[in-house]
Chain A
Amino acid sequence: MYVAVKGGERAIENAHSWLAEERRGDRDVAELSVAQIREQLSLAVNRVMAEGSLYDPDLAALAIKQARGDLIEAIFLIRAYRTTLPRFGVSEPVDTGAMACDRRISATFKDLPGGQVLGPTFDYTHRLLDFKLAADGEVPEAPSQPTEPGDVPHVTDFLNREGLIEEAPHDDTPPPDLTREPLEMPAERALRLQALTRSDEGFTLGLAYSTQRGYARNHAFVGELRIGSVPVEMDIPELGFAVEIGEVVLTECETINQFKGSKTEPPQFTRGYGLVFGQTERKAISMALVDRALRWEELGEDFEGAPAQDAEFVLYHADNIQATGFLEHIKLPHYVDFQSELELVRKLRHEAGADQVQEAAE
């Protein structure tokens, strides 16, 4: 029998009021502004933009404030907001070769054109808590140095001159869009890359780590990691030409992986690719490793049963909003479901004679 129940409105309302109060915290402590979050918690903002799949630092900062710093909740807010926006169009593919780089390093070539530029990195810090940050303090201006004119070519461009590395030939096939059509298997690489760039950082990191530990062997070098801004150009139909409509900061990672060759391909280096909104290098490197692992089929490699090779497993579990939605829904009322389960267990116990055993024990 289905029993409809109502109630809880007052409790819910009061719970939300208390949530607002707890979010504010101790009123003797100054309130955090959205601009402070945007400027001073910028890597959290970047993660929310990347996994929320919407580039807007102010909105991401607001979402972090509203979510009390719970980044998955903030990503949820951004995803929900995104669905309310009419889409004006799609951009031309961004040209990462023309990126204004804040950071650009290669783990494979020491002396590369454009040089090794460290940028504002945590690398080489000692990971000791800095108690100066707990006190007020002025930060000195970072040193500057005149820039040398010249391009900063992709590392794979000049490795390619020897033909040692797999090419990424120019192609203008319109990509599928998982925000418009449901994600279905088999998923082509363009769809996998879209799913990976918005995937949960922790999940993607864990999978990438598994490939390094031997689950789908593909020993990866970071051929290049670059972070910086690129212009975004879009065709304006009413004008009949394309204009730059803005600029986004991206992190790009290209891995170079050993490849012994296959029936169709000679021995050469193959590539994994990561491209993510914001300064998000852990995620971009993870994405590149997982992208490479998922390419086993097109490269004629063996399926070793490793989780990172299994596109269905990876892509259907990488989205933290889908995951958290399904996971967290089980805490919501399931009274009727549970009632039927309870009756079933009672009936089975009765049939098995378990209730009589218990009565005898009493």
Chain B
Amino acid sequence: MKDVFDETAPRRAWMSLMAKAPDGRVAALLDATVTPPSFTWLRAPEIGSTMVRGRAGGTGAPFNLGEMTVTRCALTLATGEVGHAYIQGRRKGDAEAAALVDALMQTDAAVTLRKTVLEPLEDEQRVAKAARGAKAAATKVDFFTMVRGED
């Protein structure tokens, strides 16, 4: 576990949030908020993989579980801010949008974007998780004891 109180925590949080957003969602929310600013690519969107690891017994020595697809890119705004994106799947458009949001979050646009992009994403992910959790909870077994034979 990393220290969550370091200064990179907010940036880690928004990058993580966007990495897990459904197809096209970050791009749609960004487009609805601002006219995409001009930028230059530091690294054009690229599809690759990450080797996912697990631990033997859940807590022991790590082992390689298998890979997942990832899209990454990096860009610089005309004003100099650098945005990065590493997101699950093969989604170049979403990676571009996520890198733009990452860069814009370092500008004065941050307050607006938090309201129009990050908070809606957060809400949607919370609702989706809660809905799944509630369905799982409905399948939880309530045991009751039958009358014992010896009584």
Contact = CB atoms under 8 A, between A and B. Distances in A.
Interface of A: 49-50, 53-56, 58-59, 82, 85-94, 96-97, 100-103, 110-111, 115-120, 142-148, 154, 156, 168-175, 177-179, 189-191, 193-194, 197-198, 231-234, 236, 238-248, 250, 252, 254, 271, 273, 275, 277
B60 A144 contact: no
Interface residue SS majority, chain A: mixed
A158 to B, nearest CB: 13
Interface in B67-121: 67-70, 72, 74, 84, 86-90
Nearest to B23: A58
Given A88-B70, A117-B140, A173 B19 contact: no
Interface string B33-65: 000000000000011111111111111111111
B146 interface: no
B137 A90 contact: no
Nearest to A277: B66
A142 B64 contact: no
A28 to B, nearest CB: 32
A10 B141 CA distance: 62
Contacts of A189: 56, 61, 63
Nearest to A91: B52
Contact of B20 (A92, A97, A173, A231): A231
A117 B139 contact: yes
B12 to A, nearest CB: 5
A145 B69 contact: no
B41 to A, nearest CB: 14
Nearest to B86: A245
B149 interface: no
Contacts of B53: 90-94, 175
Given A110-B143, A243-B16, A243-B19, A58 B89 contact: yes
B147 interface: no
A249 to B, nearest CB: 11
B47 A85 contact: yes
A55 B136 contact: no
A43 B20 CA distance: 22
A277 B65 contact: yes
Contacts of A170: 59-60
Contacts of A119: 136, 139
Interface of B: 2, 6, 8, 11-12, 15-16, 19-20, 46-70, 72, 74, 84, 86-90, 129-141, 143
Contacts of B12: 241-244
B58 A231 contact: no
Nearest to B52: A91
Nearest to A196: B63
8 contacts: A55-B69, A56-B90, A90-B53, A100-B133, A173-B62, A189-B61, A240-B8, A241-B8
A283 to B, nearest CB: 12
B67 A242 contact: no
Given A91-B53, A143-B135, A194-B64, A246 B140 contact: no
A173 B60 CA distance: 10
B20 A246 contact: yes
A229 to B, nearest CB: 8
Nearest to B72: A88
A56 B86 CA distance: 15
A231 B16 contact: yes
B43 to A, nearest CB: 9
A241 B2 contact: yes
Given A56-B90, A102-B136, A87 B61 contact: no
Contacts of B54: 93-94, 96, 193, 197, 250, 275
A198 B60 CA distance: 20
A269 B120 CA distance: 48
B18 to A, nearest CB: 9
A174 B62 contact: yes
Contacts of B86: 88, 234, 236, 243, 245
